[in-house]
Structures are given as structure tokens and as C-alpha cells.
Amino acid sequence: MPEGISWSELAVDSARVQEVNDAPFPSGQRDFVLYWCMVNHRWEENHALDAAIALGNHLGLPVVVYQALRPDYPFASERLHAWALEGMADMARGCAARGLPYWLELPRTAKEHKPRIAKLGKRAAAIVSDLFPTYIIPGHLQGAAKALHVPLFAVDASCVVPMQRIPAAQVGAYALRPKLRKLWPEYLEQTLPPRKVKASGAHLQPDFELADPVKARAALHTFAVDHSVKPLDEMGGRKAGLKALRAFLDERLEGYEEGRNDPGLGQQSNLSPYWHWGNLFAGEAARAAIAAKGKEHPAVQSFLEELLVRRELGFNFCFHTPGPRQLTVDSLPPWARETLSRHAKDPRPHLYSYEQLAQGRTEDALWNASQKELRERGRIHNYLRMLWGKKILEWSPTPQEALDRIHRLNDTYAVDGRDPASVSNFMWILGLHDRPFQERAVIGKVRPMSSLRTAEKFDLGPYLERWGEPTTAPGEEPKQAAKAAPKKPRRPQRKAAR
């Protein structure tokens, strides 16, 4: 840190902090320390906000929380804008309760957007933001570093074990798991109590008009975003996230270890959007699950595996892989690159256009249902999302085009997309974090999945009843996967290969 200040002296874990530039603290008087919130839309259990407050207290300055939502980010839509604005409304109330000025800017069009961080940097002694290793966040930080003449720090408030504690990309969950487990005693039981704000910022005023997220949420039609992707009935924000966490613990945690893979049971946590938008911290959810049933309970063990190993494996991949390479065939393991290359010219069973895929117009009834769930619910059941991606690989002209389509389809509709967990899941479809299997046409040695095999493993009746298309005539059976989905007694299911 500039001027020899130690994060540890401020009671901040330095492993969470990345110095984005090497600018010194300014010599003259400044108005505040700025928390530029891009990812972690919460005022509690937020290590980035905590670091900003610690730095502000040390410098004798108030802390200002700044957020902005441009309408021209990739995949901007009413759905994503709504979720963000619902979280921002909660942020405004939460920051007020902690005595933190909350400055929100909401340009309606790209022309209305004004570069703000450089101007705020002229009033700030330092800027703290979020360390998030994918999507547009790294580029925003790099651009700000060039424009600022004050220190810029990025803080990991997404992972329980800080990304920087794992110094290299891991080949799979089996390699990462023991490293994380070794560090869990240090991090998993660690809470982050609200740090007192010593200097009031009530007198501070921005040099731009503050926006009202509640009014903006009611006027989505006035923003220059994609109006065809509509908001969900499900709400975003911390209040909704805490309610969803409690519902999961009370209603669906029991039996999660076996039921989470079955599309017909609806036993998943449904919390992934709240992780992505930072409405919840993974650590607080893990602690709540342990408190509910104990750390050794099979359901809790399964939940911790998904939340603290598989999710953080995605962050590990993105953190150690440059952004432009994250969704490329070149970043696959050598065996996967070689086998996909060798089968690149194999005849495909189908070659659907992007538009056909987006509308769910294929010969596979289960795939169509999954795509409908994505369009209407904003995400796909985790097990079926793997199958969904595998079929796109089979139906695309090249592996790279398959990746591009998976990425575009998911990130257009999914409220939990544009995330390290999504990136690693898409790359897993092509062999990342996996092993070779028996060689087949088109996919080579990449792990296969099929709708017919899925129908043999699970009773898909309830899922297809909700998301599948109705039969065209009384008594006519749906195509392919639905044909193989008779109702049958449930049985314990294997864990999904991820």
C-alpha cells in the first residue's frame, strides 16, 4: 500500500486486496474515500466496503458509495436492469442505515453517460472497488487505473477463500478441494461485523443529479435496453436474497444431496443470481447451512461442495486466465483441444441456427424445455444446463462457435450469467476441469450427455409438464426425451459430474 500503510494494521486481510495502480495518496486535502460498487450489491458482509471504511477511518475521511448503471453494457435488458435496480434500492436503504452517502447515476441512453470515476478521483483520497475476474469488470478497473492519480484497490468480496490465496489455475475440483479445505478453518467461520464509520459524510454532495432506483425500476421502458427480455417475477436485492436463503434452508436443504440433480424435484437452492449480483455473500450462506443442520450433515456437505468448491473453481479459472481467453477453445486442456480439432469436420446430427436455438425449435423436446426455462425463468436447472450445453456443442459448426452460442444464449436471458461460475461451466462442456471419455463422433473424447440417458435417470414428467410444449393432439406423446420419461418411482441419484 502507498506510504507504508499496512492493510493488516487496518484489520483488513491483504489477501483480498489487489493494488490496481501504483499511484500515491494525494498530498492535498480530499473529501472522501470512494467505494465504487460494481459487483457486490450489499452493505453487510462486504469486504470491499469494509476495506474502504477502514481506509477512510485511517485517513480521517468519510466514505461515499458510488454506483452507476449504463444502458449499453453487454446483454443489457429490462430483466438485468430490473434485478440491478432492485438491489440498488436495497443498497440505498442499507447505506443510509450505516450513515454512508449513496450516490447513484442512471443514464437512460449511452449519450447521457458521462465518465465519472476520473472526476470523482479528483475529490477522493483513494478508490476501492470489487475484484471480479470476468465480464466487463476487469476492463473497467484497467481503464480507471489509467485515468486516476490516486490509489485504486480492488477487493475480493465474492469468494470465501480469497482468489489470491490459490496462486495458480487448478486442473479440477479434485486439485482445488484440499487447498480450500485447508484454508476453511481460517475463513469459513469468519464473520465480518459492521465496521463503525468514524467520519460523517452527510455534508457531501455530488456534482451530478442523483437517481432514484425505485422510480427507475418503474420506468424501465425509458431506458435504451433490450425490451424483449422482460423482468422476472422473482425479485433481486439483498432483502429478497435473504428471504430466498431462509426458504432454501427451511424447505429444500433436507435431501439436497440427492435431490438437487433431479429436474422434477425443484430442490436446488435457487440462490445463484444472488451470488452473482453480490446480494449475498457465500460465507454467510455456508454458515447458515451449517447452523441449520451441522457441518457433517450430507445435505450441508453437498451444498458446501457446490458453493465453496465448484463455484470458487470458476473464480480460480477466470482469475488466472486473461479475459479474452476465458471463453476460447485455446484455453481448454490439451487433450480436449486435440480431440475436438480431430473431429472438427465430422458431420453434425443437426446444424441449427442461433435463432432456432434461442426460440427452442429443435427436435429434442427436453432441450427445448430447458431453453424455455432459460427464457422465462432466467436460468436452467443445473443438471439440465450441462445437457443443454452439450447438445449445442453437437449442433454447432465448430467448437468455438458452440462456446459463443452458449455464452450468448445464457448471458442474454440468465440473471446469474456473466459470472465466473458460468464461464467455467461453459468451458467444462468442452472438457475443462474434466477427463477424457470413450471417443465418439463430433465431441471426440469430451464427456457425453444425452436427453435419452437423462430421461432414464430421472422422472422428467414434472419438469416437462411445466416447461415442455403441450402435445399437438390428445394422446400424442412428446418427441424424443419426453417419450423416454414415464413416471416411475424415485430413486437416489448420482451427483452431477461438474
Percent of the chain exceeding pLDDT 70 equals 94
Beta carbons of 253 and 303 less than 8 angstroms apart? yes
Confidence check: pLDDT of 494 > 50 = no
Residues 464 and 334 in one domain: yes
Residues 330 and 457 in one domain: yes
Whether 184 is in a domain gets the answer yes
Output DSSP code: residue 73: S
Whether 392 is in a domain gets the answer yes
Residues forming a β-bridge with 440: 444
* For range 342-357, the mean pLDDT: 97
Confidence check: pLDDT of 419 > 70 = yes
Please give the grid coordinates belonging to residue 418.
456473466
Q: Between 201 and 498, whose confidence is greater?
A: 201
Distance (Å, whole) CA 276 – CA 119: 28
Residues 143 and 170 in one domain: no
What is residue 5's predicted lDDT score, i.e. its pLDDT?
A: 79
CA-based nearest residue to 241, from 283, 282, 279: 279
Beta-sheet pairing, 17-19 with 152-155: antiparallel
Read off the CATH number of the domain in which 111 is found: 3.40.50.620
Whether 405 is in a domain gets the answer yes
Residues 11 and 127 in one domain: yes
Task: Out of 139-148, 150-159, 410-419, 472-481, pick the least confident.
Answer: 472-481
Distance (Å, whole) CA 66 – CA 123: 13
Residues 153 and 179 in one domain: no
Boundary residue ending a domain (303, 320, 337): 320
Percent of the chain exceeding pLDDT 90 equals 92
Distance (Å, whole) CA 64 – CA 170: 37
Q: Render 84-107 in DSSP notation, one character per residue.
A: HHHHHHHHHHHHHHTT--EEEE--
For the stretch 268-306, pLDDT in tens is: 999 999 999 999 999 999 999 999 999 999 999 999 999
Whether 233 is in a domain gets the answer no
Could you tell me the CA-to-CA distances from 311 to 10, 38, 356, 424, 458 in Å, in that order? 29, 20, 31, 9, 25
Residues 27 and 54 in one domain: yes
Beta carbons of 185 and 54 less than 8 angstroms apart? no
Q: Between 424 and 480, whose confidence is greater?
A: 424
Residues 80 and 186 in one domain: no
How high does pLDDT run on average in the chain? 94
Residues 367 and 304 in one domain: no
Whether 110 is in a domain gets the answer yes
Mapping DSSP to helix (H, G, I), strand (E, B) and coil, where does residue 226 land?
A: strand
What is residue 473's predicted lDDT score, i.e. its pLDDT?
A: 29
Distance (Å, whole) CA 131 – CA 49: 12
Confidence check: pLDDT of 493 > 50 = no
Read off the CATH number of the domain in which 286 is found: 1.25.40.80
Confidence check: pLDDT of 357 > 60 = yes
The C-alpha torsion from 73 through 76 and 80 to 86, rounded to 10°, is 70
Q: Render 127-187 in DSSP notation, one character per residue.
A: EEEE---STTHHHHHHHHHHH-SS-EEEE--S-SS-GGGS-S--SSHHHHHHHHHHHHHHH
Distance (Å, whole) CA 418 – CA 95: 26
Distance (Å, whole) CA 110 – CA 72: 6
CA-based nearest residue to 468, from 480, 456, 457: 480
Confidence check: pLDDT of 482 > 60 = no
Read off the CATH number of the domain in which 335 is found: 1.10.579.10
List alpha helices for 305-435, DSSP H: 311-319, 334-342, 354-358, 365-377, 382-395, 399-413, 420-429
Q: pLDDT category, 226, cuts 50, 70, 90? A: very high
Count up the domains in the chain and report the number: 3
What is residue 492's predicted lDDT score, i.e. its pLDDT?
A: 38
Boundary residue ending a domain (320, 343, 374): 320
Give the predicted TM-score (pTM) of the model.
Answer: 0.93
Q: pLDDT category, 496, cuts 50, 70, 90? A: very low
Q: Is 277 buried (19+), middle (13-18) or exposed (0-12) by CB count in 10 A?
A: buried
Residues 306 and 367 in one domain: no
CA-based nearest residue to 127, from 41, 19, 12: 19
Whether 230 is in a domain gets the answer no
Confidence check: pLDDT of 479 > 70 = no
Residues 426 and 308 in one domain: no
What is residue 469's predicted lDDT score, i.e. its pLDDT?
A: 85
Domain, as residue range, for 304: 163-192+238-320
Residues 348 and 461 in one domain: yes
Boundary residue ending a domain (252, 287, 320): 320
Whether 491 is in a domain gets the answer no
Confidence check: pLDDT of 491 > 70 = no
Whether 436 is in a domain gets the answer yes
Residue 107: φ, ψ to 5°: -65, 140
Q: pLDDT category, 3, cuts 50, 70, 90? A: low
Residues 115 and 20 in one domain: yes
CA-based nearest residue to 396, from 438, 354, 459: 354
Q: pLDDT category, 487, cuts 50, 70, 90? A: very low
* For range 382-387, the mean pLDDT: 96
